[in-house]
Amino acid sequence: MEKILTKNFDKPGSHTLKVYEEGGGYEALRKVLALWTPEQVAAEVKKSNLRGRGGAGFPTGLKWGFVPKDSPKEKYLCVNADEGEPGTFKDRMILERDPHMLLEGAILASYAIGAGKAYIYIRGEFALGGERMETAVSEAYARNYLGPNILGSGFCLDVTVHYGAGAYICGEETALLESIEGKKGWPRIRPPFPAVAGLFRRPTVINNVETLANVPHIINQGAEWFASLGTEKSGGTKLFCISGRVNRPGLYELPLGTPLRRMIEEEAGGVIGGKRIKGVIPGGASCPVLTEKEIDVPMDFDSLARAGSMLGSGAVIVLDEETSMVETLLNLERFFARESCGQCTPCREGTRWFVQVLTRIAKGKGTDGDPDLLLDIADHMAGRTVCPLGDAAAGPVKSFVTKYIQEFLPIS
């Protein structure tokens, strides 16, 4: 299959403006500023069936359309590069290998929504990616792809690279806005939604890195082409981060709808040592686990939802027959307990309670009532918090405990 997002990754100097332009970089921007209205850009992206690659899978063009066109307030675009989901490393690779692809997508998105200012919010640990993104922004200013009167079009855009401090919660879009404003990264209660009252309480769109990186390709090759690459409701390819007990862990660009089992066996070379698959987390740490019998499923948003899980960020974590599901779940819940911002009592207390119970089970001191206790805690967390972190912590508990309950019961 033809690569789209990763086609430049292995070229020497792929992160530089020179190499990006040699491969047709910024041609989409030139075309749009010369011939297209903002409404035409938004309509093309909507027609492409591009859905958000940050986890929720919300239609991108529809999201852009929520920004009020008649608002006199300044509008903003925020690029969410705070990639903190365990098992996920796709956005970091774009920042490091092809930052101009992201930047061109961000400029096109800003034009479409009428934003004059964009922020690229980068996870603080991404030293190389941040450095290359800053260099790309400087190169774009020097070539008048950014700044006043871009390419003589009258469109103006300034971009600021803003670093987070390594808090997982700031990957939640409203916590990200609070962080940029210099406040504690606590998610906001909604409504109002960011499209109406976002950054500095002005209309704002927040998009994921991978999402925006697709936009130049959609403009260059057309919405119909992009839509044809995926499924009926999800256009394009997807970057899948495959890790765990496989022979070839890594980043793979594949069409949405690629079967999960084929992805593991053919792309990732199967399980190490020929061992049996015990379970697969299909989209990152917050996604419910699938058993070996459930992995004959297409990897797209709707198919995985019907299977009782989520595509999430596309982080596929493979667990083999020797994996302890108790230890795996404990490791996940330690992460969520550490990263809970503490704003909501069910999440703050529930995640720590998960760790306490799972630690007891892992030490061989569990009781017959522990599985029910874990499920009860999860039921009192899900849907009861300001942001989805409570659901993210509860989902794995429900799936691991119900599907592998024998491992959570005391040995008789």
pLDDT for position 314? 94
For the residues 338-367, what does the mean pLDDT come to? 95
pLDDT for position 291? 96
pLDDT for position 176? 97
Tell me the pairing of strands 158-163 and 117-122: parallel
Rounded Cα distance, 111 and 255, in Å: 28
pLDDT for position 5? 96
pLDDT band at residue 219, thresholds of 50, 70 and 90?
A: very high
pLDDT for position 69? 86
> How would you label 218-251 residue by residue, b for 16+ Cβ within 10 Å and e otherwise?
bbeeebeebbebbbeebbbbbbbbbbbbbeebeb
> Which pTM does this prediction carry?
0.94
What average pLDDT does the structure give for the chain?
A: 95
For the residues 231-240, what does the mean pLDDT come to? 92
Query: CA 171, 172, 175, 180 torsion: positive or negative?
Result: positive
For the residues 48-54, what does the mean pLDDT come to? 93
pLDDT digits 0-9 by tens, 177-210: 999 999 999 999 999 999 999 999 999 999 999 9
Q: What percent of the chain has pLDDT over 70?
A: 100
Distance of CA 366 to the CA centre of its chain: 35
Q: How far apart are the first and last CA of the chain?
A: 52
pLDDT for position 186? 95
Q: Which of these ranges, 76-80, 331-335, 373-377, 379-383, has the smallest mean pLDDT?
A: 379-383
For the residues 26-54, what does the mean pLDDT come to? 96
For the residues 61-81, what does the mean pLDDT come to? 94
Q: What percent of the chain has pLDDT over 90?
A: 94
pLDDT for position 412? 65
CB 51 within 8 A of CB 59: yes
Token couple for 320: 């083999």
Token couple for 233: 């409701």
pLDDT band at residue 1, thresholds of 50, 70 and 90?
A: low
For the residues 385-404, what does the mean pLDDT come to? 95
Residue 51 has pLDDT above 80, yes or no: yes
pLDDT for position 107? 98
pLDDT band at residue 112, thresholds of 50, 70 and 90?
A: very high
For the residues 161-174, what does the mean pLDDT come to? 94
CB count within 10 Å of CB 389 equals: 26
Residue 44 has pLDDT above 80, yes or no: yes
Rounded Cα distance, 54 and 9, in Å: 20
pLDDT band at residue 232, thresholds of 50, 70 and 90?
A: confident
Residue of 5, 20, 67 lying closest to 208 (CA atoms):
5
Rounded Cα distance, 358 and 353, in Å: 8
Rounded Cα distance, 176 and 368, in Å: 41
pLDDT for position 261? 96
Three-state SS sequence of the chain: CCCCCCCCCCCCCCCCHHHHHHCCCCHHHHHHHHHCCHHHHHHHHHHCCCECCCCCCCEHHHHHHCCCCCCCCCCEEEEEECCCCCCCCHHHHHHHHCHHHHHHHHHHHHHHHCCCEEEEEECCCCHHHHHHHHHHHHHHHHCCCCECCHHHCCCCEEEEEEECCCCHHHHCHHHHHHHHCCCCCCCCCCCCCHHHHCHHHCCEEEEEHHHHHCHHHHHHHCHHHHHHHCCCCCCCEEEEEEEECECCCEEEEEECCCEHHHHHHHHCCCEHHHCCEEEEECCCCCCCCEEHHHCCCECCHHHHHHCCCCCCCCEEEEEECCCCHHHHHHHHHHHHHHHCCCCCHHHHHHHHHHHHHHHHHHCCCCCCCHHHHHHHHHHCCCCCCCCCHHHHHHHHHHHHHHHCHHHHCCCC
